[in-house]
Amino acid sequence: MAPDPQAALARIQARVQALAAADAQAAPPPPPAAGVAGRLAQLRASVVGAAPPPAPDLRLDALAACLPGVAADTPQGRCWRIDGWWSGAHRHGDVPLGDLLGRPLALTALLARDAVFADFDPRRAVFFDLETTGLAVGQGTLPFLVGALHFAGGAWVLEQWLLRTPDEEPGALAALAERVAEADWAVSFNGRTYDAPLLAVRYRAHGLPDPFVHLRGHLDLLPISRRLLGDGLPNRKLTTLEAAHLGLRRHGDVPGAGVPARYTAWLQGGDPRALVDVVHHNRDDILSMVALLDVLLQRADGADSLVLRCPQAALALARAAETLDPPRAEQIYAVAAQVPQTARAGRLGLARLARHAPKC
């Protein structure tokens, strides 16, 4: 017998009604949304509920494996911080990092040619350096790695804030500001003309106060090194000074000119291992500042004996000492006057001191 179409249709309708009744009992429909805003909220909820959970960011995990650190939270957002520390006995090249603390620190005023540094103390200083996406000091240059070293608990403590994405810049700037706020002094190598002005631009771009303006002084080691350590050297680059005066030769160091390209490659999906050398480069730059300041203070302390070894450096120190430390200037000029190469400069220096000496 042929199937009855009417009977088949009736069975299908009964089945649909039964399924609809079961759904209604299991999940009653939500109340109707009021207005357009309500319907949009209802739609968003349905989409979010249906979406799969977000996948983990494997690139950030890979970077964390290469450069272990902590995700530090600040009032301006999160940033990635890499920590390190070194005891005073640690040698950077041939220089123990703790020796700086035992030098006659008042001589820093002679190095800087500024009396404000007469009570300089590296234990109250922040040694800092930047790695950036370019050499311009302007809105388009991003300081993607900020390193700051300070002395705490009997050791040198380094914090490096790496921008995993440019959006982390406000967090890094806020973290640096917290560290600078605890210091009295800043120390850098070419930081007065580049790093500090760039940071001022970046703080202003994010509506944040510049913490460096509240420090007592900023000691820039580049011009001091040019005056006192540059004799006979082909240039005044930090790596050149390291080899000549710190006994340090870097191995596998990334050249400064190659740093921006490595960060750009990372942002474009590159291997995070390329940033490891950049972080090490920044670390070595900062540790070299501690060792370099130690060497400079040694020269200032023995300036009279420096006349034979490096007359230009000795005379530069004597010139600064004429107003800041006249007895030391007289001591250097007296030695210089006995050496043929510097005799004339020594005699002229002694004459200047005599003219400006207080009359009894």
User: In this predicted structure, what is the pLDDT of residue 256?
Assistant: 83
Structure tokens at 348: 């002229």
Q: Where are the domains of the chain?
A: 58-300, 304-356
The pLDDT tens digits of the residues spanning 150-164 come to 999 999 999 999 999
Q: Which CATH architecture has domain 58-300?
A: 2-Layer Sandwich (3.30)
Query: d(Cα 314, Cα 320) in Å, to the nearest integer?
Result: 10
CA angle 262, 244, 155 (to 5 degrees): 70
User: In this predicted structure, what is the pLDDT of residue 38?
Assistant: 55
Residues 6+ apart with CB under 8 A from 264: 133
Structure tokens at 228: 């006192």
- Residue 108, φ and ψ in degrees, nearest 5: -60, -30
User: In this predicted structure, what is the pLDDT of residue 257?
Assistant: 85
User: In this predicted structure, what is the pLDDT of residue 58?
Assistant: 83
Average pLDDT, the chain: 88
User: In this predicted structure, what is the pLDDT of residue 233?
Assistant: 87
Between the CA of residue 100 and those of 33, 58, 148, 291, 310, what are the distances in Å? 72, 43, 17, 7, 22
Between the CA of residue 7 and those of 1, 2, 10, 16, 303, what are the distances in Å? 14, 12, 5, 15, 115
User: In this predicted structure, what is the pLDDT of residue 135?
Assistant: 78
Question: In the chain, which residues have pLDDT < 70?
Answer: 1-56, 138, 359-360
What is the residue whose two structure tokens read 């540059």?
Answer: 230
Between the CA of residue 279 and those of 115, 239, 253, 284, what are the distances in Å? 35, 16, 10, 9
User: In this predicted structure, what is the pLDDT of residue 167?
Assistant: 95
